[in-house]
Amino acid sequence: MSQATEYSKKVMDHFSNPRNVGEIEDASGVGTVGNAKCGDIMRMYLDIDENQVIREAKFKTFGCGAAVATSSMATELVKGKTVREALEVTNKAVMEALDGLPPVKVHCSLLAEEAIHAALWDYATKNGISIEGLKPPVDDIDETEEFYEMQGE
Amino acid sequence: MSQATEYSKKVMDHFSNPRNVGEIEDASGVGTVGNAKCGDIMRMYLDIDENQVIREAKFKTFGCGAAVATSSMATELVKGKTVREALEVTNKAVMEALDGLPPVKVHCSLLAEEAIHAALWDYATKNGISIEGLKPPVDDIDETEEFYEMQGE
Amino acid sequence: MEKKLIYMDNAATTKVKPEVVEAMMPYFTELFYNPSSTYGVAGEIAQEVDKARETIADFLNCEAREVFFTGGGSESDNWAIKGIADARKDKGNHIITSKIEHHAVTHACQFLEKNGYEVTYLDVDEYGMVDPKAVESAIKSNTILITIMFANNEIGTIEPVKEIGRIAHEHGVLFHTDAVQAFGHVAIDVKEMNIDMLSASAHKINGPKGVGLMYINKSIRISNLIHGGGQERGKRAGTTNAAGIIGFGKAVEIAASTLEERREHEMRLRNHMVSRVMEEIPYTKYNGHKTERLSNNASFCFRFIEGESLLLMLDMAGICGSSGSACNSGSLDPSHVLLAIGCPHEIAHGSLRLTISEETTLEDVDYTVDKLKGIVERLRSMSPLYEDFIKKGGND
Amino acid sequence: MEKKLIYMDNAATTKVKPEVVEAMMPYFTELFYNPSSTYGVAGEIAQEVDKARETIADFLNCEAREVFFTGGGSESDNWAIKGIADARKDKGNHIITSKIEHHAVTHACQFLEKNGYEVTYLDVDEYGMVDPKAVESAIKSNTILITIMFANNEIGTIEPVKEIGRIAHEHGVLFHTDAVQAFGHVAIDVKEMNIDMLSASAHKINGPKGVGLMYINKSIRISNLIHGGGQERGKRAGTTNAAGIIGFGKAVEIAASTLEERREHEMRLRNHMVSRVMEEIPYTKYNGHKTERLSNNASFCFRFIEGESLLLMLDMAGICGSSGSACNSGSLDPSHVLLAIGCPHEIAHGSLRLTISEETTLEDVDYTVDKLKGIVERLRSMSPLYEDFIKKGGND
Ligand SMILES: Cc1ncc(COP(=O)(O)O)c(C=O)c1O
Ligand SMILES: Cc1ncc(COP(=O)(O)O)c(C=O)c1O
């Protein structure tokens, strides 16, 4: 099925004009998730101030339209939030903010959630902080992905 | 496939205007071949004079377009012939005179040949004559028919 | 082709409606794209295909995702039977069908018989009715599928589908129905009628040839008949025939909205035709059920004459009819359906099927009966069987 | 949809030519009759269907009665493979194919593997070429069929079909070729090329979707995929899709008469496109064979970027292309063809297939390359893989 018509307007908007593309030098936290074999890699950069507020978020993504859009939306959603609030930006929140995703693309939103977590984990590790509810990033998310692919028919 | 276009013009002519339809009262010979189960029955009436010349031939046929046309052509071909000459009116001769038949209809021309033979046999029997080369009609021509059907793909 | 033809062979195929042609047209040229492609224009075509799917789903009272497009009714029938046979081969190898199914069903079943499956071909009564009780008795522990047609293509009899479906479900057996003749002519509610799978074909309801469908209840696992690309949710491969499907959708939309009026019109004319034929042409049998039959179907056997000759003469009079089913013309065997309802061979040979449409007029019908009368007389006057019958005093 | 689209996806499907639409039109309405019917008008349609069959037979250098119409390329492929598997099951159960076949072939083979057959999937070289010697080595005493595509749908490579056919015949094995991409684009002589069976599809050569064919050498016995009525000499049931077939015939007639000029035009533009892309876009791989390839096909892998994003951006620029094969879009797996020619997964994800036609202009090509260049740059600037690559100094 055609992606262009399966994607919501919001997804197409975030894909064609992605917000916050780029790198942050000396970022407080950087997380990279996904792998090239599966066709999606997201890298998220966070700049976090002393009050644990996310001042700035940037991303780079190798992946499909949904991967780009969810990355873009994820950066938008975490900006200005505290670390704790950012943890609550789930894949569902990202999907809802994008007016939904086609079933086969749900895994992209999961990847975005994981990218946030991975960047936060990096920040926590670097600063010796422990953030409640944050788990270490999985090395290879193949399994999770496959599970979610199956959900999407 | 459509019979109307598979049949030659000659076949369609003899089907739509069959020659010599009818009965001959007190015919010199009458022969009926085929069976209703297979969908074709031909009955041929011959009026044969003392010189063994066929003065008149008539037919009745239950069957498809080709059955009617071959019966009609067969009566035309035997009329005016001697009994011996009539024996040489083979199914091939009938087919050729009709500019050919579709493969699945070849058995009709065979039936026409057999109808002539059956009528001649009846004539020979009634008059105690033996006609060289004439065999008694087969009771059930199913087997022969099936053979010819197979030929016609 | 100047002379006007009276078309009385709507069970063989139907004319594509101008609205349907119009609906299809853009998808040959401007919108020729492959609906599976990524680009936007392709996606718009995919949406039109899905609209057709929804129209059809509404008509059948099922979900759009339970409708799968195929290349025709025969493909759907083959898919249903072979697909279930394969998917359930671990569960059993027995299939129940009837003696009056279309060849797409019977020949698919015969193929399976050569491959280790067992098939029960149920008898029908003199009207072509399958007895639901006979279906029930035939069910065994290894029965995996019951396939009984919705309406017969030759004699028009409508089968007790709902009751057969109920029985199938009671015994945990799947129920498929070949509705190629019924779809678009009779209201069908697959849920209410206990139908698990249903075959239909566009060209029988003023849609294009080469497009069919299968409704498959979403709970059913079936193997593909055509493997390959991911079209039709991975269940039927092949580049989506967008023009054909969109035409099919349009045809169903029209058929749905005209169902009742068509039925009434056809019933009125068909009944008039049947009364006249039965009154005016002696030694005639009316085949099929009196009431439980398709509104457009009339099927007769005229004794002492043969079907092809009859059709040729009708053709010369500008009337298109059929003898048995169109697929079998040119074959030398009499219809298996007529034999199954108990016609002797020689009577089965003299069959005529006239199937009208909403476009048929009273004049068409009266002209047809007038001509038919003369033709039957003429052929009988040439028939040795009739000669014998008369000589025997008109008694068998 | 006002903006002009540049269509570079002719391997997915093609626009139906106006002459083809015109040829089909009458068979939807005035001449809608079922070609199998008895009446004269129906017979005239049957004759037109047979004319199409003859046109195609001439084009392939076979007899008309060796051409069988189907519902598409996928059906033909499934028929060839499953039909021979069934017909020869007493002779053997081994099939030889390649790793780069269309899914219609590979998935049909996988289905057979679940049903007791054994399939050898031959490797190809980095250009996608099957080695005839490897075919020969794979033949065993129980081999019943070799099926190798004529030309690949993703990378355009033309296989050494004639040589493979020769080997097949030397060993008394049947040879089928999926020529869906090649038919109408490359001259094919089935006799000269030792082809026993060949699949083709109308919509790849400016004909309608939902119509395909199979050439089957007259000496071959094959089981039906679709059982039922006696159409197509009893080998493929289903009411004859007269409009579709007549359209197919017209498309072949045109294709036959324009073969050389189309090839030259396409080669010139394709080569220009490839040179520009390879010169102007770094880190790009040109997939497929340099010379033994379809004239309209160009296939690239752009490192560090992903295909769907690329396609979406091309779409926004009004360019229709494809990534892998159209049937698989939306799937998350990279193309099995690109993996088979040795592309690593992440590179295979960045593939783009551009397939031009006789209607493509030099301006179209230049516009496409210009846009493509910018899009690849933009996507790379967003790519973490590219970032890593550059940080490592541009070396792997
Ligand atoms: C090589 C090849 N084989 C088979 C097919 C299937 O053909 P169709 O879509 O007509 O079923 C295609 C195209 O989709 C193809 O490119
Ligand atoms: C009852 C029935 N089943 C199946 C078919 C086959 O449909 P199609 O010709 O579309 O393959 C037909 C008509 O030919 C039919 O009448």
User: For D240-328, where are the E strands, in sequence order?
Assistant: 284-286, 297-302, 319-320
What is the model's pLDDT at position D366?
98
The predicted structure's pLDDT at residue D323: 87
Q: What is the DSSP string of B53-96?
A: BEEEEEEEEES-HHHHHHHHHHHHHHTT-BHHHHHT--HHHHHH
Cα D198 to ligand 2 centroid, rounded to whole Å: 27
Cβ-based neighbours of C372, under 8 Å, separated by 6 or more: C277, C281, C314, C319, C352
By the CB < 8 Å criterion, does C318 face chain D? no
Percent of chain A beyond pLDDT 70? 88
Q: Which SS3 state, helix, strand or coil, does residue C67 take?
A: strand
pLDDT tens-place string over residues B63-77 = 999 999 999 999 999
* DSSP string of D153-216, one letter each residue: TTT-BBP-HHHHHHHHHHTT-EEEEE-TTTBTTB---TTTTT-SEEEEEGGGGTS-TT-EEEEE
Q: Is D294 in the pocket of ligand 1 (CB under 6 A)?
A: no
Spatial CB neighbours of C363, under 8 Å, sequence gap ≥ 6: none
Contact criterion met (CB below 8 Å) for C135 and C148: yes
- Distance separating alpha carbons of residues C337 and C98, to the nearest angstrom: 10
Report how far ligand 2's centroid is from the alpha carbon of D289 (Å): 46
Q: Which residues of B touch C332 (CB under 8 A)?
A: 38-39, 104, 149
Return residues 55-114 of C near B (CB < 8 Å).
Answer: none
Give residue for tokens 């020949």. C107
Helix pair angle (D307-316, A9-16), 10° resolution? 100
CB atoms < 10 A from the CB of A11, how many? 27
Subunit contact A2:C233, Cβ cutoff 8 A: no
Ligand 2 atom, smallest distance to C151 CA: 1
Structure tokens at D342: 């040795």
Return the ligand number nearest the Cα of C75: 2
The predicted-structure confidence for C139-160, as pLDDT tens digits, reads as follows: 999 999 999 999 999 999 999 9
Rounded CA separation A71/A55 (Å): 17
D262: contact with C, CB 8 A cutoff: no
With CB atoms and an 8 Å threshold, state whether D40 touches B6: no
Is the distance from the beta carbon of residue D14 to the nearest atom of ligand 1 less than 6 Å? no
C382 touches chain B (CB under 8 A): yes
Atom in ligand 1 nearest the alpha carbon of residue D11 = 16
Q: Residue B21: beta bridge partners? A: B59
Q: What's the token pair of residue B70?
A: 């071959």
Tell me the per-residue pLDDT of D12-54, one tens digit each, with 9 for 90 and over.
Answer: 999 999 999 999 999 999 999 999 998 999 999 999 999 999 9
Measured CA to CA, the distance from residue C352 to residue C311 in angstroms comes to 8
Using CB atoms, pick whichever of A1, A2, A153 lies closest to residue C40.
A2
C30-49: average pLDDT: 94
Using a 6 Å cutoff on CB, does residue D77 contact ligand 1?
A: yes
**Cα nearest neighbour of D42 on chain B:** B2
Q: What is the average pLDDT value for chain C, to the nearest integer?
A: 95
- Contact list in D for residue C5 (CB cut-off 8 A) is 39, 41
Are chains B and C touching, using the cut-off of 8 Å on CB pairs and a minimum of 3 such pairs?
Answer: yes
What residues line ligand 2, using a CB cutoff of 6 Å? C 72-74, 77, 102, 104, 149, 153, 178, 180-181, 201, 203, 212, 327; D 238-239
Nearest to B55, CA basis, from B26, B91, B95, B33: B26
Q: From residue D178, give the alpha-carbon distance in Å to each of B59, C364, D99.
A: 56, 50, 13
Query: What's the mean pLDDT in C204-233?
Result: 97
Which residues, other chains included, contact D177 with Cβ-Cβ below 8 Å and sequence gap of 6+?
Answer: D147, D148, D149, D150, D159, D161, D165, D195, D197, D198, D199
Q: In the predicted model, is pLDDT for residue A142 greater than 50?
A: no
3-state DSSP assignment of residue C48: helix
For residue A4, give how far its alpha carbon lies from the nearest alpha carbon of chain C (Å).
5
Residue B3 — very low, low, confident or very high, per pLDDT cuts 50/70/90?
low
Residue-wise pLDDT tens digits, D182-197: 999 999 999 999 999 9
Q: How far A8 CA lies from chain C's nearest CA (Å)?
A: 12
- The more confident residue out of A146 and D35 is D35
Radius of gyration in angstroms for the set of CA atoms belonging to chain A, rounded to a whole number: 14
Quick count: other Cβ atoms within 10 Å of Cβ A49?
11
Question: Which whole number is the average pLDDT over C283-288?
Answer: 97
Whether the predicted pLDDT of C330 surpasses 60: no
| Chain C residues with beta carbon closer than 8 angstroms to that of A153 | 233
CB contact under 8 A, D332 and A3: no
D9 touches C: beta carbon within 8 Å: yes
* H and E: helices and strands count for chain B: 7, 3
Q: How confident is the model at residue D3 (pLDDT cuts 50, 70, 90)?
A: low
Please write the tens of the pLDDT for every residue from D197-252: 999 999 999 999 999 999 999 999 999 999 999 999 999 999 999 999 999 999 99
The pLDDT confidence band at residue C324, using thresholds 50, 70 and 90, is: low
Residue A149 has pLDDT above 50, yes or no: no
Angle among Cα D378, D384, D385 to the nearest 5 degrees reads: 95
Angle CA(D247)–CA(D249)–CA(D254) in degrees, nearest 5?
95
Confidence category of residue A140, pLDDT binned at 50, 70, 90 = low
Contact across the interface for D9 and C111, Cβ inside 8 Å: no
**Average confidence (pLDDT) over C304-329:** 83
Q: Do A39 and D334 touch (CB under 8 A)?
A: yes
| Amino acid C282: pLDDT | 97
Per the CB < 8 A criterion, the answer to whether C153 and C141 are in contact is no
Which residue in A has a C-alpha nearest to residue D344's C-alpha?
A37
* Alpha carbons A15 and A9: distance in angstroms, whole number: 10
Does ligand 1 come within 6 angstroms of the Cβ of C239?
Answer: yes
* Distance from residue D157's CA to the centre of ligand 1 (Å): 15
Question: In Å, how far is A31's CA from the nearest CA of chain C?
Answer: 30
Percent of chain C topping pLDDT 70: 97
Q: Is the pLDDT of residue A44 over 70?
A: yes
Q: D180 C-alpha vs ligand 1 centroid, how far in Å? A: 6
* Integer Cα distance of C352 and C8 in angstroms: 10
Contacting residues of A for C44, CB less than 8 Å apart: 2, 5
Banded model confidence at residue B2, pLDDT cuts 50, 70, 90? low
Q: Do B65 and C312 touch (CB under 8 A)?
A: yes
The gap between the terminal CA atoms of chain C, to the nearest Å, is 43
> Please, which pLDDT band fits residue A63 given cuts at 50, 70 and 90?
very high
ipTM of this model?
0.92
Q: Which residues contact C320 (CB under 8 A, 6 or more apart)?
A: C5, C6, C7, C8, C9, C314, D33, D37, D39, D41, D42
Q: What is the mean pLDDT of residues C305-324?
A: 93
Closest residue by Cα to atom 7, ligand 2, is C73
**CB interface of D with A, residues 295-334, below 8 Å:** 304-309, 311-313, 315-316, 329-332, 334
Residue D332 reports pLDDT greater than 80: no
Question: For D251-293, what is each residue's pLDDT tens digit?
Answer: 999 999 999 999 999 999 999 999 999 999 999 999 999 999 9
Cβ atoms C146, C155 nearer than 8 A: no
| Partners of A33 in beta bridges | A42
Is residue C58 classed as helix, strand or coil in its secondary structure?
helix
Residue of C nearest to D19 (CA): C29
Which residues from C are below 8 Å from A4, CB to CB?
38-40, 42-43
pLDDT of residue D345: 87
3-class secondary structure per residue, chain A: CCHHHHCCHHHHHHHHCCCCECCCCCCCEEEEEEEHHHCEEEEEEEEECCCCEEEEEEEEEECCHHHHHHHHHHHHHHCCCEHHHHHCCCHHHHHHHCCCCCHHHHHHHHHHHHHHHHHHHHHHHHHCCCCCCCCCCCCCCHHHHHHHHHHCC
What's the angle, vertex CA B113, arms to CA B112 and CA B116, rounded to 5? Answer: 90
Chain C residue with CA closest to B102: the answer is C330
The response to whether residue D71 sits with its C-beta less than 6 Å from ligand 1 reads no
The answer to whether B69 and B141 are in contact (CB under 8 A) is: no
Mean pLDDT for B28-43 is: 91
Q: What is the DSSP letter of C183?
A: B
Beta-carbon count within 10 A of C21 CB: 19
D346 reaches A (C-beta below 8 A): yes
pLDDT of amino acid C129: 98
* Strand partners for C121: C97
| Both tokens assigned to C85 | 């046979």
Q: What is the pLDDT of residue A38?
A: 79
- Asked whether D149 lines ligand 1 (CB < 6 A), one says yes
**How many angstroms is it from C102 CA to the middle of ligand 2?**
7
Closest-CA distance of chain A to residue D190, Å: 36
Distance CA D249, CA D215 (A): 14
Work out the average pLDDT over B89-102. Answer: 95
pLDDT band of C115, cuts 50, 70, 90 = very high
H or E element that contains D278 = helix D242-280
